[in-house]
Structures are given as C-alpha cells and as structure tokens.
Amino acid sequence: MTQMPAIQLENVSKTFGRRKKRVEAVRQLSLEIAPGQVFGFLGPNGAGKSSTIRMMMDLIRPSAGNILLYGRPVKNNPPLLQKVGALVEGAAFYDFLTGRKNLEILARTRGCYDAEQVQTLLAQVGLADRADHKVQGYSTGMKQRLGLASALLHDPDLVILDEPTNGLDPAGIQDVRLFIRDLVDKQGKTVFLSSHMLNEVEQVCDRVGIISNGRLVQTGNVAELLSTQAIIRLEVAPLERALGLLLPKWPTVANGRWLEVQAPRDQAPEIVQQLVTAEVQIFQVVVRQQSLEALFLAATGGDNA
C-alpha cells in the first residue's frame, strides 16, 4: 500500500500586489514529501520560502494551485492543522511569565495540557534548569528552544521549523540538530526545515529542495545530490599532457603540480585509467565530495542564503 505524502504542493503560485507592484513570490511550485523524514527547504533571501510556509499553514492563500497535508486540503481545515506543530519566524511569549507557565497556557489553550509532557519537553530542549525563570531574562537562543517545545505540545505528526537555530551557540545548534533527528528517528514525525545554515542542513536532512526566484530548481536525497559531482585532484606528470587528455571530456584546471577535475565521483576510475593508458605518471588521487553550499550556489546562480 502506497504511503500518503505528508505534504503535497501542486503547482502552487502566490502573487502579491497588482499591475506595476505585482510580485510573484512563488511560481508553480510542486513538491511531494513522504512522512518520516527531515526535509530541508533552502533558498536565498526573498526566494519564496516564508510565503510557501505561510501557505502550508493556511495563514495566506495561494493565488493558484493546491496544498494538501496527508492527502487533505489545508484550506479552511483547522482540524487538519492540529496535526501540525510550527515554529515560524521566531517565538513570541509573555515576558513576565516563566517558560513553564508560558507552555502551560499554550497547552491549555490548545486543549492538550499535561504537566508531565511540559516537563519532558523543557528537558528535551535544554531548559529544565531555567523553566521557572521569567522569559524576559531569556536569551534569543533560549526563546528559540522554548519555541521548539511549544511547537510540540500537542504531539503533532508534522513539524514545520523556520530557522530554528537562530540565536543559538554552536553547542545549542548541535543539540537542536540531534533533537530534530530524534523527532524523526525515534518518534516517527516528519520535519519540514527551512534554514540558511547549509552545513547544519547537510548534516540533519534526508532530502532537500532548493527554491530560487519562487521556483523549485533542485530537489532530491542529500547523499545522492552531493555524490553527483566531486572535485578529483590528481598529482601527475607531465602536467600538460594530462591536462590535454582530460579537458575534452571534463572541466579541468591546473593548480601547481595538481589537476583538479570536476566530475561525478564514480568516474574517478575512468579518469585514472585514461591517464595510465597514456603513460602519465600519477602520484596521488584525492576525491573531495561536493558540499551542499557548492550545490546551493550552483542551483541558485551564486545567490547567498
């Protein structure tokens, strides 16, 4: 039996303004995300990430297309959105109340109050020792941690996180990364993660989608995407003969005694064999996998996240 996608976007577009002030924020975006994974949603500033997330939460309506969660349209469907937990554009709390009291109020408002669950979440996000301190004394990173806990109060199946590591120090970022993986690996949830921290996305996500100028320009399994291209460095002699042999087929540049060849990782044996057949001496071969940052820059035409 085919598993129902957690998220489906079908030719979704969103336009703001009219005539000369018309802005196409999202353009014919189609995306399907299976449950039980961390999906990274990447793009430069202004690419359409926030607009897409707002449409998924039914906070704004698409100009065209359909959005479904677990096979059901989100439009005018509050019961469906009860299956979703979200931390979008930072967390806002009552500063004069403690972290624990804020969570208790939110839980009661949602009809899911459980004192033990509140305490468990506070511990999971690393706030157990500051739970009874007023939020006005929290750092930005601590408020982000509290926001993560608030998104999980009702035990949602789908968790949407927009820049969840904002304001966190390196140790905090690592904690959140492990926490997100546990949500999927141990609790069976689905996480939709929008972030500009490409190194963190590379480490935590199973699949990614890259959006640029409102359009989806790349999507796929992280490991597979990163393995499609590599930099193969070869220390060879004579350098000029090797360069002439490889250039017709692969982008190749000389760097001192080394050649740097851009090619899929699995073509490294073919490159080496071609040089050996031509009696080029090979002293070292180093294969460096493409980074998510390099993939992102290539997909977005060099725009920064």
Place of tokens 């050996």: 276
pLDDT reported for residue 2: 58
In the predicted model, is pLDDT for residue 87 greater than 80? Answer: yes
Q: What is the pLDDT of residues 122-138, one digit of tens each?
A: 999 999 999 999 999 99
Residue 238: cis peptide before it, omega within 30 degrees of 0: yes
Mean pLDDT value across the chain: 89
Query: Is the Cβ–Cβ distance between 43 and 211 less than 8 Å?
Result: yes
CATH code for residues 7-225: 3.40.50.300
Q: What is the pLDDT of residues 215-249, one digit of tens each?
A: 998 888 887 777 777 788 999 999 999 999 999 88
In the predicted model, is pLDDT for residue 90 greater than 80? Answer: no
Of 24-38, 46-60, 143-157, 164-178, which range is least confident? 164-178
pLDDT reported for residue 152: 94
DSSP β-bridge partners for residue 192 = 39, 160
Of 8-17, 65-74, 116-125, 296-305, which range is least confident? 296-305
Query: Is the Cβ–Cβ distance between 74 and 56 less than 8 Å?
Result: yes
pLDDT band at 71 (very low <50, low <70, confident <90, very high): very high
The full DSSP string for 20-60 is GG-EEEEEEEEEEE-SSSEEEEE--TTSSHHHHHHHHTTSS
Structure token pair of residue 80: 């469906």
Any alpha helices (H) in 73-209, and if so which ranges? Answer: 78-81, 99-110, 115-124, 140-151, 170-185, 198-204
- The percent of residues above 90 in pLDDT, for the chain, comes to 58
Provide the residue type at 292 as one letter. L
Which value, in Å, is the radius of gyration of the alpha carbons in the chain? 24
In the predicted model, is pLDDT for residue 305 greater than 50? Answer: no
Of 33-42, 145-154, 191-200, which range is least confident? 191-200
Within a 13 Å sphere around the CA of 113, how many CA atoms are in the beta-carbon half? 10
The 3-state DSSP class for residue 287 equals: strand
Class of domain 229-289: alpha beta
pLDDT band at 72 (very low <50, low <70, confident <90, very high): very high
pLDDT reported for residue 1: 46
Domain residue spans of the chain? 7-225, 229-289
Would 7-225 and 229-289 be classified into the same CATH topology?
no
pLDDT reported for residue 167: 78
pLDDT reported for residue 99: 95
Of 71-80, 93-102, 183-192, 213-222, which range is least confident? 213-222
DSSP β-bridge partners for residue 162 = 194
In the predicted model, is pLDDT for residue 264 greater than 60? Answer: yes
